[in-house]
Structure formats: structure tokens, C-alpha cells
A = this chain, B = another copy of it.
């Protein structure tokens, strides 16, 4: 039995540690989860005790195979619920995170499998992130941040790195949506800004925004 809190720690370690492979520092987890370092140490010990994590004092944590699968299962639930909220209940994508954060902890294999079928087995959630299947497998779309794309080339907006409310609202306001074709027209070294072109218009975006937009070529 994995508790709600444990699930959140597993998810954090997974995301911070590159699928949970790299060792993650106590402070990094503390910041991610919004808790104090001492609380994190306590929880890490419990996870190691349950063989969900590998832990060496002062050396950080990584996930065991079981821990990784558990994390992926939580991520699967989170992303399926987000898809449900956006596709079926007509939420906009910036509203769904907090609700999915709760729904991801509902315990029922059968529920999530039926939800998956009901949504017609989506491979990506509304933010463009891949949804692991029952066995924890998924294929990431190969994509690059606009920062790393050569001027003149174009791609399809496939995901966003930052899923904060503020950023998603910015995208809505500027009529940028997943699936849009974006061409990188120019880079301005003075302020690190980019000029991009979409179907409807040409616009300038800051380095900060460019960093968070991932295009698949």
C-alpha cells in the first residue's frame, strides 16, 4: 500500500531525476513538493524502507524499478484525468492541473483502464505530455525547444515545458495552441528574443517563452 503522500514524493523524484534514474537532492525535492528538507528526509527513509527508492545518506535518492513503475502509474492517472477534464468536461487546459492532482490518487485499476478506453486510449495529454500505458511504457515525441531550433525551420507545437497557469494563460491570450505549425523567422541577440510565424500572424516572443515551447519537426 502506497499512501497519497508517498505517491507525491515518487512523482517528484521521477520528474526531478530524469525518470528517477539520477540521484535527486533532498533540497530539490523539498522545493518541488513545498515541504521542509527535514520532512523530505523522513519520507525518503520510508520509501527506501518499502524498497521504492534507493537512498544513501547525504547522497540523494533515486527510484527502484518498483518505485519507477509506481510513479509512472500515478503520472498515467494524472494525464488521463487531465485529458478527461479537457476533452469531455470542457475545462481549459490551465484549469485542470489542481483537480488532476487530486484525482490521480483515486485507487482502482479498473477505473483507470475504463477511463483510458472511454477516452479512446490517448497517447498524449492536453499539454502534449505522453501518457504511459498500463505497463508504464510510452513514446516521447521527439521535439526541441525553440531555443535549439535553427532560424528558418519550422515544426508543430507538440508540448510545453512549463505548465503553470500563468504560462498557459499567456498561450491562450496569444492564440498559441498545441498542434499549431510554428516557423522560427528570426533571432535577436540584443534581448534574446525570437520572431515566429503562425498560420494567423507573426509575433515576437521572449527567450523565456521560447524556452518553454517544444516543436516536433
Question: Contact residues of A with B, CB < 8 Å?
Answer: 85, 88-91, 95, 98-99, 102-103, 106-108, 110-111, 114-115, 118
Contacts of A102 in B (CB 8 A): 106-108
Q: 7 A-B residue contacts at CB 8 Å?
A: A89-B114, A89-B115, A91-B110, A95-B110, A99-B106, A99-B108, A103-B106
Smallest CB-CB A-B distances: 10 pairs = A89-B114, A102-B106, A99-B108, A99-B111, A89-B118, A88-B118, A103-B106, A89-B115, A102-B107, A90-B114
A96 nearest CB neighbor, chain B only:
B111
Contacts of A98 in B (CB 8 A): 108
Name the one of B89, B110, B114 contacting A111, with C-beta atoms under 8 angstroms: B89
Q: How far is the CB of A44 from chain B (nearest CB, A)?
A: 26
Contacts of A114 in B (CB 8 A): 89-91
6 A-B pairs besides A89-B115, A102-B106 with CB distance below 8 A are: A89-B111, A91-B114, A98-B108, A99-B106, A99-B108, A102-B108
Q: How far is the CB of A78 from chain B (nearest CB, A)?
A: 13
A102→B104 CA distance, assembly (Å): 11
A118→B110 CA distance, assembly (Å): 21
A106→B106 CA distance, assembly (Å): 9
Contacts of A85 in B (CB 8 A): 111
A105 nearest CB neighbor, chain B only:
B102
A115→B108 CA distance, assembly (Å): 20
A85 nearest CB neighbor, chain B only:
B111
Q: How far is the CB of A56 from chain B (nearest CB, A)?
A: 36
Contacts of A106 in B (CB 8 A): 99, 102-103
